[in-house]
Amino acid sequence: MSFTEFVDGPFWYFSAAVFVIGVVWRLVGMLTMGSKPDYSLPRASGTAGAIGINIKRFFPRTDFWSRIKLQVIAGYLFHVGLFALLFFAAPHIDFYRERLLGFGWPAMPEWAFILVSELAFLGLLLLILHRMMNPVTRAISNRGDYIGSALIFLVMLTGCLALARAYEPLRVLHFFLAELLLLYFPFSALMHTFTFPFSRGFMGAHYGRRGVRV
Amino acid sequence: MAIDMNVFRGFAEQIKMLPQMAQPTDCPDNERLKRAKAVFAAKLDSSKATYLESCVHCGLCAEACQFYIQTEDPKFTPIHKLDLLKRFYRREKAPLRFFHRLTEPEITEADLEATQELVYESCTECGRCGLVCPMGIDIAAMVHITREGLAQAGLIPAGLRAVEQEQGSRGTVFGVGPDQIRQAVDDLRAKGHEVPINKEKADILVLSSTIDVLLFKDALEATVKVMNHLGVDWTIHSCAFEGANFGLLSGYEEVQKSASERITSQAIALGAKLVIVPECGHAYPAMRWYGANEHGAPLPFEVMALSEFLGREVISGRLHLKPLGPDRHVTYHDPCKVGRHGGVFDEPRAVLKALGVDLREMPSNKVTNFCCGGGAGLFVMEGAAPMRDAAFDLKRQQVEATGAESVVTACGSCRVNLMAGAQRTQWGTQIESLVELVGANLKQ
Amino acid sequence: MSFITFRAAVWQFATLLFVICLLAPLPAPAQESAPASPILVPNPGSDLWRAVRQRDAIGAGTSQARGVETGVLIEQSGEEFRNYRRNDFIGNAGLFIAAVAGLILIFYMVRGRIPIPDGRSGKRIRRFPDIDRTLHWLTAILFIFLALTGLTLLFGRFVALPVLGAEAFSVIASASKEGHNLFGPLFLVAIVALFVRWAARNLPSRGDLKWLIKGGGIIGNAHVSAGFFNTGEKIWFWSVMLLGLTVSISGLVLVFPVFGQGREIMQLALIVHGIAAVLFIAGSLGHIYIGTLGTEGSLESMTTGYVDENWARGHHDRWYAEATQGGAESAVPDQSTVARQAPLHTSADKA
């Protein structure tokens, strides 16, 4: 079996399976750990708090802004860019259509693809550098943080290098790294992709029932 | 202000002596880890698991924490305080625990001891960190769980432990018990006030605190005046007057329960419809949010903070106040446990509005206000003095930014910490109590 | 390893690099010669081909296709451009970069590493906050990536292709092109950000000329006064801005050929881009040398943000005096353990 066949075949199926099973396992596991009843009289609705915080938390409070603005701006550049790339870049939509879903949707124009990629790279590089430069993040970051960031960066980079869509080795490299990322994902902090609505929700519910808008 | 500064200084001296008064705990050395883990295992539920799974080490929490802001020491990064809990969770409870056991070493007793400073002397559980976290992680709640584990392991810092042990074994705090509250009541009666105590039945049970009995006597007097002025059916009870809960502060749940249950059972016996918590921060959540859970059932009475009660009476038109005038420039300091953790923001401001003062909000106010530095028992831990001072310096800047001549608050330990800081730095700004302002300006 | 053997190793490595660069222009494939002088041959098609070649024609022809220069069938100046690029530019560029590298090497062999004046004091002072260091390293990483991919596009055919073979090299060349084109515009963003942060401190000021005349103290041990940035740094800053702007704007002309650029403009842009890039790379070698090996105590200003007090006093005395005016607050005990501290947690957790 050639490396290309391996990457397009067994390794793809294996990494996709580990990804799906791992994510579901971890999510279900953490959400079914039970909770204790709260007999105190609520002041307001916890559910409303859980939903409200999920939206509000996208907009950091002005009180904190001066100390966090680099991370917030870089964070949004990266995350919004990545989201746009994953779901609206033509090569990815082609992949979903051919390998996963059987259908696709309109892709963004080439110039938008380039622009969005650049913004995503800018955000990610700033975030990685900030993690290394800032004393707090340098102190609390572990191997996993750097491995996760590096993997994402390499996947994005190899995608960029293969942009001409004319050389099989470049495509295979990109796919291989993406599959490594899928394998790594459920074991890492990258899970925040799926856990964030729940962690925000729990906090929103807790403070919501106390009548505090967080 | 009739604060006896000798008593204030005496307080400070006594706090320095507290560590010597602490008794050894009943936890044998080889049991510490086991007991801590048992607490963690019991307390880590879905919400905490989700929090612990969600941290991406972004470090934003540090930028919201007054202790990090003032020291610039990454050691005080809030999420770092949860390292112990996180490691336990990964090995023992996480869905991927079988994988984590390959990569995550066991927590050790040395780890427990290293965590003590992080969750006790350098954290007031103020909750500001949780406000900035993009993942919405409630770090303060999990700091408390860590305290609960350390408490069972006998690792409460000595000064705090001394007071918790006193409240646990004798039911008193700093020696203030039924006799002392009776004495305080007698003193007030000698001044001409009617003070109902130990009534058989009453609609409202009013609590007090050691700090009010010993130091802020005007606050107690003002409370009495207001309750009488309102003409409600109320009482103090010598068996259940202490709002402060050192079980909650130290994380020792048995004492937290016994202290709140003492109040709950007395309120039930009185047939009370309302329990009013005095000007004290943690006393509010102790009864309002945790009282029912310690009781195991919904409470058959309402719980209000004194500032909350006063505000509601003003809003409903039952309480009228003499205006002090708009040339009184004040700012309001929300005690963290009453405001951010309690939900009481509007009511104290309604009182200040009725007093007609010029209220100027601090740059960070209401839900984002900065902690005074004295909460969560920090004011009885001598080792926390540098932290308290650092937090005070930041709070001082916040107050001065308003240009107000006085800062009003509704919490005794906030007042103590602000006063201590004012003394240390020769600060001229007045520090006032909300209920004392109300008591002095009741309109007939 | 000892200093002597380290210097010897550097010497050997640099010689090798120098030699490789010298060889760069050599394995150029057979060049097409200049058009031969016309020989009159009774070729029935010569008139046709003369017209096709547009040798005599000055204007353009017409074509069904609409666009910029679609009336031009065969570009005359293209041949000149191609010859220039392959014969003159690439060879000289390689020589130039190698020469600069060699000069730096010679300087290092002669002068050695410039130590911190009076040795380390053990006390530190803050020089660059997080944002400055983040932006600097962003610029540096982008620069290195663009330089490597750019050099591949320039020299690769002559240096790498013979070694790797055509197939493998075409993969690398395509990857380099895509990478170079995508990251190029980001470089402009990075240098604009650096400009915003540092331009004010790089304006010429009193003492700059004297610093320059004294050679910045790199010859001999004379103490030279300087502010936050010395004259050498200011020259580098403005070079970065000028060269960076040149390379970015010419790069943008090249990467977005949709604004009516004809071949001449594109060729000009490529030459300008190349010249600016080569000068930039050569300059960066000097900057990297001075910031790392060349001057003790400099690199940490950009990694930790702190510098030793003696470094500050010795190299930037006017800045040091201002910064420590506010009392000893700015001077902190050497917490290099804080800056380089191990992660706070003791576990080996990976995820």
Nearest to C182 among A70, A118, A170 (CB): A118
Nearest to B90 among C338, C344, C349 (CB): C349
CB spacing of C344 vs A134 below 8 angstroms: no
Nearest to A170 among C137, C174, C185 (CB): C174
Q: Is B75 on the interface with C (CB under 8 A)?
A: yes
| Rg of chain C, C-alpha, whole Å | 26
**Separation CA A55–CA B291 (nearest Å):** 32
Q: Is C351 on the interface with B (CB under 8 A)?
A: yes
Bridge-based pairing state of the strands B274-277 and B302-305: parallel
pLDDT band at C350 (very low <50, low <70, confident <90, very high): very low
Nearest to C182 among A132, A160, A166 (CB): A160
The string over C175-210, giving b where at least 16 C-beta atoms fall within 10 Å of a residue's C-beta and e elsewhere, is bbbbbbbbbbbbbbbbbebbbeebeeebeeeebbee
| Terminal CA-CA length for chain B | 22
> DSSP per residue over C1-48, as a string?
--HHHHHHHHHHHHHHHHHHHHHTTTTPPPPPPPPPPP-----TTHHH
Q: What is the pLDDT of residues C26-67, one digit of tens each?
A: 444 444 555 566 766 677 787 777 777 766 555 667 788 888
**Separation CA B23–CA C41 (nearest Å):** 117
Chain C nearest-CA residue for B57: C351
In three-state secondary structure terms, C295 is: strand
CB B410 within 8 A of CB B279: yes
The string over C164-174, giving b where at least 16 C-beta atoms fall within 10 Å of a residue's C-beta and e elsewhere, is eeeeebebbbb
ipTM for the complex shown: 0.96
- Measured in angstroms, the CA of B105 and the nearest CA of chain C are apart by 6
Give the pLDDT confidence score for residue C56 in this predicted structure: 59
* Interface A:C, Cβ pairs < 8 A: 84
CB spacing of B111 vs C351 below 8 angstroms: no
**Between A62-88 and A143-161, two packed helices, what is the crossing angle to 10 degrees?**
40
| Mutate: best of C126, C131, C171, partner A, most A CBs <10 A | C171
Dihedral over Cα of B388, B394, B395, B400: its sign? positive
Three-class DSSP labels, A107-134? CCCHHHHHHHHHHHHHHHHHHHHHHHHC
Check pLDDT > 90 for residue B255: yes
**Separation CA A88–CA A90 (nearest Å):** 6
Per domain, the residue ranges of chain B are 29-155, 171-312
Give the pLDDT confidence score for residue B1 in this predicted structure: 46
Element (H, E) at B178: helix B178-190
Chain B adjacent subunits, 3+ CB pairs under 8 A = A, C
pLDDT band at B29 (very low <50, low <70, confident <90, very high): confident
Q: What is the pLDDT of residues B169-223, one digit of tens each?
A: 999 999 999 999 999 999 999 999 999 999 999 999 999 999 999 999 999 999 9
Dihedral over Cα of C343, C344, C347, C351: its sign? negative
Q: Give the pLDDT mean for B292-304.
A: 97
Which residues in chain B are closer than 8 Å to C344, comparing Cβ atoms?
A: 74-75, 77, 80, 83
Q: Is C350 on the interface with B (CB under 8 A)?
A: yes
CATH 3.40.50 assigned to domain B29-155? The reply is no
| Mutate: best of C143, C178, C332, partner A, most A CBs <10 A | C178
Q: What is the pLDDT of residues B72-116, one digit of tens each?
A: 999 999 999 999 999 999 999 999 999 999 999 999 999 999 999
CB spacing of A188 vs C351 below 8 angstroms: yes
CB spacing of A41 vs B343 below 8 angstroms: no
Give the pLDDT confidence score for residue C214 in this predicted structure: 83
| Terminal CA-CA length for chain C | 37
| Terminal CA-CA length for chain A | 55
Closest CA to B131 of B400, B365, B307: B365
* pTM, full prediction: 0.90
Lookup result for tokens 């200011």 = C234
Nearest to C178 among A118, A160, A187 (CB): A160
Q: Is B83 on the interface with C (CB under 8 A)?
A: yes
Element (H, E) at A86: helix A62-88
CB spacing of C344 vs B100 below 8 angstroms: no
Which residues of chain A are at the C interface, by a Cβ-Cβ cutoff of 8 Å? 70, 114, 117-118, 121-122, 125-126, 129-130, 132-135, 138-144, 147, 157, 160-164, 166-167, 169-170, 187-189
> DSSP per residue over B52-108, as a string?
HHH-----HHHHH-HHHHHH--GGG-GGGGGHHHHHHHHHHTSTTHHHHHHH-PPP-
- Measured in angstroms, the CA of B243 and the nearest CA of chain C are apart by 38
CB spacing of A53 vs B131 below 8 angstroms: no
| Mutate: best of B63, B83, B88, partner C, most C CBs <10 A | B83
Considering the four listed CATH numbers 1.20.1050, 1.20.1420, 2.60.40, 1.25.40, the one that applies to the domain covering B171-312 is: 1.20.1050
Residue B22: Cβ within 10 Å count: 18
CB C100 within 8 A of CB C285: yes
Q: What is the pLDDT of residues B349-363, one digit of tens each?
A: 999 999 999 999 999
Instruction: Locate B36 and state its tokens.
Output: 């801590």
Give the pLDDT confidence score for residue B368 in this predicted structure: 97
Q: In what order do the strands lie in the sheet with C331-333?
A: C306-308, C123-126, C331-333
CB spacing of C344 vs B105 below 8 angstroms: no
Give the pLDDT confidence score for residue C59 in this predicted structure: 61
CB spacing of A30 vs B53 below 8 angstroms: yes
Angle subtended at Cα B103 by Cα B101 and Cα B107, rounded to the nearest 5 degrees: 65
Q: What is the pLDDT of residues A139-184, one digit of tens each?
A: 999 999 999 999 999 999 999 999 999 999 999 999 999 999 999 9
CB B219 within 8 A of CB B140: no
Three-class DSSP labels, B289-340? CCHHHHHCCCCCCEEEEHHHHHHHHHHCCCCCECCCCCCCEEEEECCCCCCC
Element (H, E) at C308: strand C306-308
**Separation CA B114–CA B186 (nearest Å):** 47
In three-state secondary structure terms, C294 is: helix
CB spacing of A39 vs B96 below 8 angstroms: no
Q: Average pLDDT, whole number, for chain B?
A: 95
**Dihedral in degrees, nearest 10, Cα atoms C168, C173, C178, C182:** 130
Q: Give the pLDDT mean for C194-219.
A: 88
